[in-house]
Chains A and B, each alone.
Chain A
Amino acid sequence: MSNELLVVKDLHTTFATAGGELPAVDGISFTLGQNETLGIVGESGSGKTVLARTIMGLQAIKNATVTGSVKINGSEVVGTSEEDKRKIWGTEVSMIFQDPMTSLNPVMRIGKQVDETLRILLGMSKEDAKKRAIELLELVGIPSPEERYEAFPSELSGGMRQRVVIATALACSPKLVLADEPTTGLDVTIQAQILNLLDELKEKMQMSVILITHDLGVVATRTSRIIVMYAGRIVEMGSTQDVFKDHRMPYTRALLESAPKVSNPSHTRLVTIAGRPPNLLALEKGCAFAPRCKFATDKCHNERPELQATGTEGHMFACWNPLTSSRGDA
Chain B
Amino acid sequence: MVKELLSVHHLTFAYSGDCVLQGVDFTLHRGTFLGIVGPNGSGKTTLLHLLARLLPLQEGIICFEGKEIWRYSHTEWAKKVAIVFQEIPTRVSLPCQEVIAMGRFPYLRRFAREGEEDERAVQWAMEMTETWQFAERDFGELSGGEKQRVMIARALAQKPTLLLLDEPTSHLDVLHQLEVMQILRALQREGITIIGIFHDPNVVAQWCQYALFLKGGRVLRFGTTEEVMRKEYLAELLEVEFIEHTHPLSLRPFFTPLELRKRPSRGITVHLICGGGRGIPFVRKFLEAGFSLSVGIVNRFDSDEELAIQLRLPVVSEKPFSPFSEESLHHALHLARKAQWVFIVPTYWGRGNLLNLELARLLLLEGKRVFLLREGFDPRFDYTGGEARKKLAELAHHGAQVLERVEELWEK
Partners in one complex: no
Using a CB–CB cutoff of 8 Å, the interface residues on chain A facing chain B are none
Using a CB–CB cutoff of 8 Å, the interface residues on chain B facing chain A are none
